[in-house]
Structure 1
Amino acid sequence: MYFCMDKKLISFVIPAYSEEKNIALLYKELILNFEKISDTYKYEIIFVNDGSPDNSWEEINKLCKKNKNVVGINLSRNFGHQGALTAGYTKAKGESIISMDCDGQDPVFVAFQMIKKWEKGYEVIYARRKKRNDNFLKKYTAIAYYKLLSFISETEIPRNVGDFRLIDKKVLKEFLKLDEKDRYIRGMFAWIGFKTAFIDFERPERVHGETAYTWRKMIRLAMDGILNFSMFPLRIGFIFGIIMILFSLGFHFYMIYDSVINDVFYPLYKWLIVTIFGIMGLQFMFMWIMGEYIGRIYNETRGRPNFIISDIKNEK
């Protein structure tokens, strides 16, 4: 008697922005690795073109025509990495879903190590970088940021991980229930929880091109991580306020003492200038913090989608 086991479907979600030279290379490497496990698994590869100005969408179209297991999603404009990643997640049908970058810096062999971990019962598997090959400024600002985020966040967010991860389909189901507009996806998965494992790897250099993650985009992502997963910025104003009040009281007592004991005269305008500058600093700080949170409330209430799909190929 023969038993036929259904093959498990593995979904790959790959955002692409200006990656025309890397798309075919990554596809070939994925197919070569899948051939080794084709008796057990089947696959779908979802490329999401995030409004690329180059020929990325044309390259994705070629793969879709060649292989019906390749799904191509073309967004109506550039919605950013987090929006593109979310678009791919919404179309993934696999029992496990692996997200990775298209630039060759997320090694394919690590993705297949994740599958082995998943088979052992882990539901979220992160690829964790052993070391960063970034320039000095980017490397140490990233280290400082993760330390700050770890200190102030109410959710423990793993360090030295990006969006290279495997998630089980039940984790994806919970993720898709979250309707946040300002997305920090690695923090969202940390908040969701489930049984977690890590695979350490050394991240190679990009194969072609330069990163599309500008300083502006990185700062925006960092702000999303801090403001979406911590109430500390709201509280820091109170802390600085107390410090300013104590400093002001101490300075006032010193001036009173100096005036009475040492007979030193302090003109009134000096008191007024110091007091006014302190109050103005506190006001500006509170206004900035309140503006950030009010802006996020505004984004949530206006109900705009995280992405708009203009075309899709080989949709299942």
Structure 2
Amino acid sequence: MIVLAIVVPCYNEEAVLPEMTKRLFSFLDDLAHRQLISEASRVYLVDDGSQDRTWSLIAQQVAIDSRVHGIKLSRNRGHQNALLAGLLHAEGDAVISIDADLQDDLNAIEQMVEEFNVGKDIVYGVRKQRDRDTRFKRMTAEGYYRLLVMMGVEVVFNHADYRLLSRRAIEALRQFREVNLFLRAVIPLLGFSSSIVYYQRKERFAGESKYPLRKMLSLAWQGITSFSAVPLRMITVAGFMIFLGSLSITVWAIGIRLFSDQAVPGWASTVVPIYLMGGIQLLGIGVIGEYLAKTYMETKARPLFIIEQQIPDKNNEPMKDAHPPHS
């Protein structure tokens, strides 16, 4: 039987955390009773710098059940970094990441374990449909995935961060050192055998979404500029198209000047170059600046997260960073 680890990033989840752990352990007990997973399976709750009672509730769960491990980041580092902290510190033959809001169907875990047992290193949890979303949410979410694919970013359509990773996949993930983290595109780069498990996403049990439209747009831009050079190439294409347009307007302006009396002296030679060249230069500088900013952040090599406290702390090491030195 495999030892399963479940990683749950938590940010201001005091309203949902007690119910989440209750349901999660009830489900794990059922799997262990049916001998699908080992009774030594664990749950890792990662507090991403919460401002409510999330950490104290995690500490209570650790005191109640020895299978719970708490990881407290020193400050809020964002969902992706908190998730990575849990993945890199979790022990077990396979690690499943799941959100704390109880929207991901726990029954998919059993299917993921079955796929792992037949040799899959990565199992993606993918939503069957988005009938519970508003029309705007559905259009923007599906448009988000299509945009990433169009820009050359390899992602699994309608997959967020509900997935199983084998120990081999986790160790391969440990080798990635990038600061601009976008796990939905990093995981496919691992290249191991994978499969998909479909599930029906539920309503959030309590609290509010930690991914409003602003953060979703930010995450989309992060994915594009971290994994695709297409925007840079689009500058070249746009520049060429504008050059052709400018050339056409120039020919038109010359024709008006030579074959009619409607030409306005100085208009074409002044307005057309200013607007066209000014626009393409600003666009180019903006996109290039975004990539330079990311290069700047990567060269700093700052840790993605700093762990302030772990409970239970087997190694008695209260502070660990995301980038330990290579041996």
Structures share fold, TM-score greater than 0.5: yes
| CA positional deviation for 1:292 | 0.7
Maintained 8 Å contact 1:69/1:314: no
TM-score by length of 2: 0.91
Residues in 2 aligned to 1:315 and 1:84: alpha-carbon distance in whole angstroms: 18
Q: Which residue of 2 aligns with 1:167?
A: 165
Maintained 8 Å contact 2:31/2:110: no
Q: Which residue of 1 aligns with 2:299?
A: 301
Matched, 1:281 2:279: yes
| CA positional deviation for 1:212 | 1.4
Matched, 1:22 2:16: yes
Residues 60-111 of structure 1, C-alpha deviations (whole Å, 9 max, x = no match)? 0011011121110111111000010011011111110000000011111111
Residues 254-281 of structure 1, C-alpha deviations (whole Å, 9 max, x = no match)? 1111222223323214431221111111
Matched, 1:136 2:143: no
Q: Which residue of 2 aligns with 1:235?
A: 233
Segments of structure 2 that go 5 or more residues without pairing to the other structure are 315-327
Residues in 1 aligned to 2:257 and 2:193: alpha-carbon distance in whole angstroms: 66
Maintained 8 Å contact 1:255/1:266: no
Structure 2 counterpart of 1:19, which letter? E
Q: 291-300 or 127-136: which moved more?
A: 127-136
Residues in 2 aligned to 1:54 and 1:281: alpha-carbon distance in whole angstroms: 47
Question: Which secondary structure state, in structure 2, belongs to the residue aligned with residue 157 of structure 1?
Answer: coil
Question: Which secondary structure state, in structure 1, belongs to the residue aligned with residue 3 of structure 2?
Answer: strand
Question: Which secondary structure state, in structure 2, belongs to the residue aligned with residue 311 of structure 1?
Answer: strand
Residues in 2 aligned to 1:289 and 1:274: alpha-carbon distance in whole angstroms: 23
Matched, 1:260 2:258: yes
| CA positional deviation for 1:214 | 2.6
Matched, 1:36 2:30: yes
How many equivalent residue pairs?
A: 309
Segments of structure 1 that go 5 or more residues without pairing to the other structure are 1-6
Residues in 2 aligned to 1:138 and 1:219: alpha-carbon distance in whole angstroms: 12
Residues in 2 aligned to 1:50 and 1:188: alpha-carbon distance in whole angstroms: 21
Residues in 2 aligned to 1:34 and 1:203: alpha-carbon distance in whole angstroms: 19
Residues in 2 aligned to 1:12 and 1:143: alpha-carbon distance in whole angstroms: 27
Question: Which secondary structure state, in structure 2, belongs to the residue aligned with residue 36 of structure 1?
Answer: helix
| CA positional deviation for 1:137 | 2.3
Residues in 1 aligned to 2:25 and 2:223: alpha-carbon distance in whole angstroms: 34
Matched, 1:103 2:97: no
Q: Which residue of 1 aligns with 2:175?
A: 177
Q: 1:255 to 1:269 in 2, by over 3 A?
A: closer
| CA positional deviation for 1:8 | 2.1
Residues in 1 aligned to 2:303 and 2:64: alpha-carbon distance in whole angstroms: 31
Q: Which residue of 2 aligns with 1:12?
A: 6
Please report the RMSD computed on the Cα atoms of aligned residues, expressed in angstroms. Answer: 1.3
Residues in 1 aligned to 2:279 and 2:263: alpha-carbon distance in whole angstroms: 27
Residues 266-310 of structure 1, C-alpha deviations (whole Å, 9 max, x = no match)? 321443122111111111111111111111111111121111111
Q: Which residue of 2 aligns with 1:152?
A: 151
Maintained 8 Å contact 2:253/2:268: no
Matched, 1:224 2:222: yes
Identity of aligned residues (%): 33
Moved over 6 A (4+): none
Q: Which residue of 2 aligns with 1:245?
A: 243
Q: Which residue of 2 aligns with 1:3?
A: none
TM-score by length of 1: 0.94
Matched, 1:51 2:45: no
Residues in 2 aligned to 1:25 and 1:85: alpha-carbon distance in whole angstroms: 20
